[in-house]
Amino acid sequence: MDMSLVSGILAAQAGGMQMQVAATVLKSNLDAEKSAVMTLLGAGEQNVSSLANVAAGIGGNLDVTA
């Protein structure tokens, strides 16, 4: 076998392995981003529901100068 053919095959195999690792890392990052977004959306829903039973006018005249 020609050595250039062997080195080409080995390079292709290494490239394939790099692509698999990159795909795995990308999926992990996307899962983490999804989790963060779902957490933020859940926190927003939780805040809205906790204010649903508040009387009208509460928080309307908030003094933030102190």
Does residue 23 carry a pLDDT above 90? yes
The CA-based angle 21-25-28, given to 5 degrees, is: 140
% of the chain surpassing 70 pLDDT: 67
Kindly tell me the sign of the dihedral angle through the C-alpha atoms of 12, 15, 21, 25: negative
- Distance (Å, whole) CA 5 – CA 9: 6
Residue 35: pLDDT band with limits 50, 70, 90: confident
- Distance (Å, whole) CA 33 – CA 25: 12
pLDDT in tens, 37-65: 888 877 656 555 566 666 776 666 666 77
Residue 14: pLDDT band with limits 50, 70, 90: very high
Write down the domain spans for the chain: 23-49
